[in-house]
Chains A and B, each alone.
Chain A
Amino acid sequence: MADAAAALAGAVVRYPGRPPIGPIDLTVAHGEIVALVGPSGAGKSTILRLLAGLERPSEGEVRRATTGATGFVFQAPTLLPWADALINVALPLELAGLAPAAARERAAAALAAVGLGDRLDARPRQLSGGMAMRVSLARALVTEPDLLLLDEPFAALDSVTRRRLIEDLHRLWSGRAPRPAIVFVTHDVEEAVYLAGRAIVLDAATGAVSASLASPGALPRPLDWRADAAYRHAVEELAAALSRAMPADQAA
């Protein structure tokens, strides 16, 4: 546990009028990529908010490595609509008290790293969905976090853009030393197997971890890995585990 980037130990979250979520035990090692898969309502987003410290558990505890920042990418790009890409990406640094000039310099570098070095002054409405999501990713990475949390970030994008962004995410992750830990929420089993080293299935009824499956192969993935039998097999295995975690009325 001491070398974990983040961990939940027996964490339970109660919302009024709803069954409790958990107890959840989850340890994310430094530099690890974990996919959280589960039916809607199983508490995937809640786990991310717990890990980010945006919410406190009703019971149990959340542990975070004391060093390092947390990056968060939401389902939508969630950019300030009145500010350009550069200012949006510089925002976390400026909120932390960094001088605007220095913050914007680092923001420009972060935007260049996601391939938007020539769109620094673009407003969010001038960007496509994929580009806006890249800005959001640059904003999450600009603080050089050791834990990056992504809540179904690519769900609204077309499949080509989505694949490109997954490759970018792998590239950005493997290009950093030390590598950040990534926790990634998705409802897409193929995305989970491809992107993560480990997929965790949450149970719809209890919100607890019902299965944990390691993905085969090394990260980042080789070019034609989606055609690999090992990948197909892992996808089917994860799909079966997810189906078992579904409530009876949704499983059919």
Chain B
Amino acid sequence: MSRLLPPLLLTILLLLTWEAACRLMHVPAYFLPPPSAVAIALVERAPLLAGSALQTFLMALQALLVAGLIGGGLALAVSLNRSAEHVVRPLAVALQVTPVVAIAPLVLIWAGLDHADRAVIALAAAVAFFPLFSGILTGLKSADPDLERLFDLYGANALQRLWRLRLPAALPFALEGLRVASGLAVIGAVVAEFVSGSGATQGLAWRLLEAGNRLRTADMLAALVCLMAMGLALNALVGLVERRARARLS
């Protein structure tokens, strides 16, 4: 509790300053509404925003699942073959350095305009892929070389080596990758929704865009607050998974 108090106090102070500035300087509401107006917008639009937040949250989770399956599977395949990494890694890096905004329009065409949600998931998965792939691959190769020798000595087969040595060794790295990937997945989902701009996905980014088009700045800020809260919720979920797994590991 004592760790939460100082940042909470700072937040309240900043909000009060913002409220006072808006009122004293008569800032127009379309330019910068006071926090009280944002709070009212939040309450009024709560059901809509909650639905959209859930939508974005689920899309980000599905993207993490897809990225985890593809990234993990590929890392596993690559870890079994020494030369495969030289083949795959440059491609993975190329995917990583390509801005997601730039590939979004293409993916939207491929997914079809009726399936904007698929495009959002695919794009979020594309940005979440690299930290998961890279983390799991590094982890699979991180086992103590002497433990690898021990498995050689006792004639372990490939499956035993994977299950009893490499996968447990990879888990902390995979969790680190998941933490980074979860943040990126939200970014990817929001960017993809912005680019699709059709409202077919009904996520938080669409709420932001919709309110912006109508110059309803308080609604925009309310959507932004929801996005922030959703990001924190996802972060907390990943943190919970991480702590559970680490407690079992050590």
Contact = CB atoms under 8 A, between A and B. Distances in A.
Interface of A: 49, 52-54, 70, 72, 74, 76, 78, 80-82, 91-92, 95-96, 123, 125, 143
A54 B147 CA distance: 12
A74 B146 contact: yes
Contact of A125 (B151, B155, B160, B250): B250
Contacts of A95: 151, 154-156, 160, 164
Among A52, A70, A80, which residue has the most Cβ atoms of chain B within 10 A?
A80
A81 B164 CA distance: 11
Nearest to B143: A80
Q: Give chain B's interface secondary structure class.
A: helix
Nearest to A52: B153
B168 to A, nearest CB: 5
Interface in B140-191: 144, 146-147, 149-156, 160, 164-165, 168
B249 interface: yes
A242 to B, nearest CB: 26
B147 A78 contact: yes
A80 B155 contact: no
Interface of B: 144, 146-147, 149-156, 160, 164-165, 168, 248-250
The 10 closest A-B pairs by CB, nearest first: A95-B154, A78-B146, A74-B146, A92-B154, A82-B249, A95-B156, A82-B168, A54-B149, A72-B153, A54-B152
B164 to A, nearest CB: 7
Given A52-B153, A54-B152, A82-B248, 12 more contacts: A74-B146, A78-B144, A78-B150, A80-B147, A80-B164, A80-B168, A82-B249, A92-B150, A95-B160, A96-B154, A96-B155, A125-B250
B154 A76 contact: no
Contact of A123 (B150, B151, B250): B250
A76 B146 CA distance: 9
A82 B245 CA distance: 11
How would you classify the secondary structure of chain A's contact residues: helix, strand, loop or mixed? loop
A91 B161 CA distance: 11
A54 B153 contact: yes
B249 A72 contact: no
Contacts of A81: 249-250
A91 B250 contact: no
A6 to B, nearest CB: 14
A76 B147 CA distance: 10
A130 B168 CA distance: 25
Contacts of B153: 52-54, 70, 72
A143 B155 CA distance: 13
Contacts of B250: 81-82, 123, 125
Contacts of B165: 80
Nearest to A136: B150
A49 B153 CA distance: 10
A53 B149 CA distance: 10
Nearest to B149: A54
A72 B155 contact: no
